[in-house]
Structure 1
Amino acid sequence: MSEVVQNISNFVATIAKISHITYLANEIFIMCKNRRWWVRPVNLTREEEGFFKTCFQQLQEKDEEHFFKVTRMSTENFNLLLTLLREKLRRFSNRKAICPETRLAMTLMFLAQGCNYNVLAWTFKMGVSTVKKIIYETCDAIWDELHIVYLSPPNRAELAIIAEKFFIKTGMPNCLGAIDGKHINIVRPSKSGALYFNYKKTHSIVLMAACDANYLFTYIDIGALGSQSDGGVFARSSFGNKILNGTLEIPHPTNLPGTAINFPYYFVGDNAFPLKTNLMRPFPGIHLSDDKEKYNIVLSKARVHIENTFGILASRWRILLTTISACPKNADKIVLATLVLHNFLMLQHDRNYFTLELVDRNEHNREISGQWRGEINPLESFQQRVVNRSSSHAFELRNSLKEFLNTTF
């Protein structure tokens, strides 16, 4: 008797499963019936008539100059980048999957030109949602695969080398890098209130970064709310918090060149940053004594490196100059991809990506502004404000550094 009951129970369960499957199939049929098409007819010719097939490959093979304008890199570096990312970009589907080359080409075009999603959809003959998905996935892949090699924080030995290069180039001893923060404009996120609303009355996320003497990013922090004060952003960033707490792993203090003055290593910033043991800033005011003025000039020679690094970044990756139409999470992915691509191309010595004419320089004792200053409006910096109190020890260190620079120059 129990066996009969069990059989009936199994039969009823089977009927229920069949009924559920039938219901789902009917819903899918209705949805597909109401949809005009699965793939737009104009996009069916993507393989033969899309931008990648008709234009991009021809530029790659025959026109190096315009290929650089589209991708911001040489064909050799594009192929190298594709090799590094190919497996991460490969997709499998019942329909013919979009190839890694197309995915990378579209994303680089978006980052370099700041293209509208709809324009890319028409150009590559894809749906807008597909274009967005490809761009975010590719930016993710660029960061995941490259940042450990091209944008990992330097160790103590590497920081000491950075300091040597800054001293040779600017005369600023023990300088580990220049720091600054920039607002990256985004479309107002839904239900965000005033969280991303900044003092320029736009919505933004904040990019905090440091660079070395060769215009490479060394430390980055992205995603702070545009409404936060400069001090709030700096203190909440992992990098800034460690500087303020004195926990960042940097070389041990050493004597200033040619003296017996033991001095800590430090970063340089503008007046928006606090004066700390490991963070030097200019003397405030306009009517300064000659020794303070000379200190500010030398510090500015070091600090201007971060301005130029951001200038190179924004002039090459024009998406950063637009109002990025993406939620904050995806905007972070886009910005991170541009940062790691910048370091990748700088370290690959791409001859078109960086030239000396692009940055501020001194020629025959004459200061010449970098080309990027005439080509683009710079990214918006923080407001100038003192964000917290400095210790008497920090003031003493700055005075010692001032005296050293005045005896040297």
Structure 2
Amino acid sequence: MTVPFHMSRRSITRHIYQTCQVLWDVLQPLELKSPTKHQWFKIATRFGDLWDFPFAVEAIDGKHIALNAPPKSGSMYYCYKGFPSIVLMAVSDADSCFILVDCGQYGRISDAGVYRTSQISKLLEEGKLNIPTSEFKVNSTERTIPFMIVGDEAFPLKTYLLKPYAAKTLDQEKRIYNYRHSRARRTVECAFSILAKKFKIFQRPLRVEPNKAVLLTDAALVLHNFIRRRGGRMVDRTGEGTGERHVSLGSTHAWRTTFC
């Protein structure tokens, strides 16, 4: 059933884009800003409490935002999954709130390629994110581990970025590590799933130009964090059960880099 708006489709479209821009302008300074060093420690604590990976501060992954291929774009937007898209590269905290995002790369570029050219990589390489340089001390041992970002096998191995062991070299200890690594890394995949579930437009190709798709995605990202921190339900794995409870999230914030 079509709901009458008493205005043209063009006017409705213009109002939607203007609203998305206002949402970004207003909520970005509140919901997507750089964590302080103290807040990074809190994020690492949450990774330890929820996912048994206490020296992680971020989980990183990419998501393909499906859209209709622009005219005369050839294969630039076609990803390996067989549909045209732009890539959303993001890192999340332990509660599946976004910390950094970079949206707008061509869909045909791999996650590793998007990461290499993204502002996220540049900021990490230059050490501009206030991530603690101190090391996490393992309980009852003398071993110390630096704080890390966790990603899948598509990402490069860095001093600040961990990836799982290759499947061909797995022994029992490496299998246990991969299991723990996967538990921490899936928080960003959960963030993507929650985003797509909450905003149904991401469950079908966006029938808009790529720059408009970036704008819609930006608005959804800040709304995602706003909802998660004020009205969402967070997983509580600190007890024996696996239920959920409401958690106050006012002390942890996130920030977004510029997009292409």
**TM > 0.5 between the two?**
yes
Q: Which residue of 2 aligns with 1:261?
A: 143
Q: How far apart in 1 are the matches of 2:44 and 2:136?
A: 13
For residue 197 of structure 1, give the secondary structure of its aligned residue in structure 2: coil
Q: Which residue of 2 aligns with 1:126?
A: 7
Identical columns (%):
36
Change in Cα spacing, 1:291 to 1:340, as seen in structure 2 (3 Å) is same
Q: Which residue of 2 aligns with 1:113?
A: none
TM-fit CA distance, 1:295: 0.5
Note if 1:283 corresponds to 2:161.
no
Q: Which residue of 2 aligns with 1:312?
A: 194
Counterpart of 2:58 (choices 173, 177, 189) is: 177
Contact kept in structure 2, 1:255 and 1:263, CA below 8 Å: yes
For residue 272 of structure 1, give the secondary structure of its aligned residue in structure 2: coil
Contact kept in structure 1, 2:138 and 2:144, CA below 8 Å: no
Higher Cα Rg: structure 1 or 2? 1
Query: Normalising to structure 2: TM-score of the pair?
Result: 0.85
Q: Which residue of 1 aligns with 2:256?
A: none
Q: Which residue of 1 aligns with 2:35?
A: 154
Q: How far apart in 2 are the matches of 1:333 and 1:317?
A: 14
TM-fit CA distance, 1:155: 2.2
Contact kept in structure 1, 2:34 and 2:129, CA below 8 Å: no
TM-fit CA distance, 1:364: 6.3
For residue 4 of structure 2, give the secondary structure of its aligned residue in structure 1: helix
Q: Which residue of 2 aligns with 1:301?
A: 183
Contact kept in structure 2, 1:243 and 1:279, CA below 8 Å: no
Q: How far apart in 2 are the matches of 1:255 and 1:174?
A: 6
Counterpart of 2:209 (choices 308, 327, 351) is: 327
Note if 1:143 corresponds to 2:21.
no
Q: How far apart in 2 are the matches of 1:134 and 1:239?
A: 31
For CA contacts below 8 A with separation 6 or more, give which structure has more relative contact order.
2
The one-letter code matched in structure 2 to 1:239 is I
Give the aligned length.
242
TM-fit CA distance, 1:220: 0.7
For residue 178 of structure 1, give the secondary structure of its aligned residue in structure 2: strand
1:100-249 matches, cutoff 5 A: 122-244=3-125, 248-249=129-130
Contact kept in structure 1, 2:136 and 2:147, CA below 8 Å: no
Q: How far apart in 1 are the matches of 2:58 and 2:154?
A: 16
Ranges in structure 2 where 5+ consecutive residues have no aligned partner: 244-260
Contact kept in structure 2, 1:244 and 1:276, CA below 8 Å: no
Bigger strand share = 2
TM-fit CA distance, 1:300: 1.1
Change in Cα spacing, 1:363 to 1:158, as seen in structure 2 (3 Å) is closer
Q: Which residue of 2 aligns with 1:20?
A: none
TM-fit CA distance, 1:287: 6.4
Change in Cα spacing, 1:255 to 1:308, as seen in structure 2 (3 Å) is closer
Ranges in structure 1 where 5+ consecutive residues have no aligned partner: 1-118, 369-409
TM-fit CA distance, 1:240: 2.3
Bigger helix share = 1
TM-fit CA distance, 1:307: 1.4
* Deviation by residue 1:81-121 (Cα, 9 ceiling, x = unmatched): xxxxxxxxxxxxxxxxxxxxxxxxxxxxxxxxxxxxxx87x
TM-fit CA distance, 1:253: 2.6
Q: How far apart in 1 are the matches of 2:209 and 2:195?
A: 22
For residue 124 of structure 1, give the secondary structure of its aligned residue in structure 2: coil
1:366-377 matches, cutoff 5 A: none
Q: Which residue of 2 aligns with 1:99?
A: none
Q: How far apart in 1 are the matches of 2:239 and 2:192?
A: 22
